[in-house]
Amino acid sequence: MKVLFIEDADFKTSASLDLGMQLNKLFAAKGYETKSIEIKKGTLASCVGCFGCWIKTPGECVSNDLMKEIHTNYLSSNKVVYLTPVVFGQYSANIKDVLDRLLVNSLPFIKTTNGRAMHPRRYEKYPDEIMIGYNNDISPDEKETFLDMVAKYRKQVKQVFVNVKQDENKKIIENISKVI
């Protein structure tokens, strides 16, 4: 069993640092092989919307950088934990670059299921995701935007948390330990 942590290296709060450490311990104690990838500004190019991963080299991004490491680790993991700052109610740019470029995991075609258009999956199996948003100051609107967006449009996310203070960490750890 394997877990992948995808973290933003440019902005961390004391609560998120503590949470990251505790999560690492928790997964290791449960027998997971842990892998952590931190994304800094400049280490990962933004998606430019060229659709090369759909129509030039299907299943692989045309730009060969840190994404290859993220992608192979993503596919080989059972769980993926995102630790992302919440900025204006969205993932930070560093984490959003990862999510944008994971587009390679869906197919170009559009299929309407339950009245909503979707791109079918490329592989049969994907890891369950856990999304943790943090910041020192998150407004109620931002929190609501973040939670809504994840719940509605990221079905592979099984648990989502917003973390501002360090004393909330204990509860988050408890909830996560129930599902792993």
Partner 1 sequence: MKNICLLNGSPKGKNGVSLHFLEKLNKSIDSNKYTTNFINAKGSKQEADFKAIENADVLVIAFPLYIFCLPGLLMRYLESYSHYANSKEKSEKKTDVYAIVNCGFPEPEICNGALRVIKNFCQRMNLNWRFGVAIGKGGILAAGKNSFLINKLSSKVYRSIGKIKKDIEKTNGGKMEDYYVAPNFPKWLTNFVINKAWASKAKENGLNRKDLYGKPYYNYTRYNELQQISTFYNKFFVDYKKVG
Q: State the residues that interact with partner 1 by CB under 8 A.
A: 1-2, 41, 46-51, 54-60, 71-72, 75-78, 87-93, 96-97, 99-100, 102-103, 107-112, 116-117, 122-126, 139, 141-142, 145, 148-149, 152-154
Q: Which residues of 16-55 are buried (b: 16+ CB within 10 A; e: fewer)?
A: beebbeebbebbeeeebebbebbbeeeebeebeeeeebbe
CA separation, residue 96 to residues 100, 101, 124, 147, 176 (Å): 6, 8, 24, 15, 23
119 three-class SS: coil
* CB neighbour list of residue 135: distance below 8 Å, 6 or more residues apart: 13, 85, 86, 87, 164
CA–CA gap between residue 104 and residue 53 (Å, rounded): 5
CB 161 to partner 1: min, Å: 18
Q: Which is nearer to partner 1, 25 or 58 (CB)?
A: 58
CB 116 to partner 1: min, Å: 7
Q: Which is nearer to partner 1, 21 or 151 (CB)?
A: 151
Q: Which is nearer to partner 1, 28 or 108 (CB)?
A: 108
8 three-class SS: strand
Q: Which is nearer to partner 1, 141 or 174 (CB)?
A: 141
Q: Which is nearer to partner 1, 75 or 173 (CB)?
A: 75
CB 175 to partner 1: min, Å: 24
CB 170 to partner 1: min, Å: 28
